[in-house]
Amino acid sequence: MARLALILIIYINFSTFTLADRLLLPLELTIFAKKNSCKAIDDFYNRPGMVEPSYVYGYLKGEKENSAIFWCRSINDKNKYKLVIYSRIGKYSECSNVINSQNYPGGLSLIKNMNFLLSDFTYLDNNKHGPDIKVIKDNFIRSYYDGVEEIFYCHKRRWLKLIRD
């Protein structure tokens, strides 16, 4: 009986989403996107060349399946995008779990164990350069398409971004 109820709940939740939502993001990310007033980007893969996925699991420490990052399109403004951090095991509290962007998103991947100087990055909230420290152990979020990459990093509760081409 409990299994039937679970299947019914999943069906009801799943049936409220568009075909694009169901094909482009896993169900749990689609549901979380809706809670953040966004939806899957239906034309994400409608461009030439290789495109990395619009989501990736394993951003936070711990088991890979317990966290993810994904791009979605704002429900209120189709020209605005959101990079969302999802956690199954509680609220992600280091930085905001949503980064707003005007730029069309690239495919996502994680950069691990790479040297970056945070002074090469700029803060998203004021466009000033980050501190003069080197970070090598944490996960950096990489959004990449056609030779241009945006790298995001959370430092002391504030998001930084580096753009390279």
DSSP 82-122: EEEEEETTS---SS-SEEEESSPP-EEEEE-S--EEGGGSE
Domains identified in the chain, total number: 1
Query: What predicted TM-score, i.e. pTM, was given to this entire model?
Result: 0.84
Kindly give the parts of the chain with pLDDT less than 70.
1-23, 93
The helix (run of H) or strand (run of E) holding residue 39 is strand 38-39
What domain range includes position 14? 2-164
Task: Report which of 110, 103, 105 is spatially closest to residue 42, judged by C-alpha positions.
Answer: 105
Tokens in use for 108? 């996502």
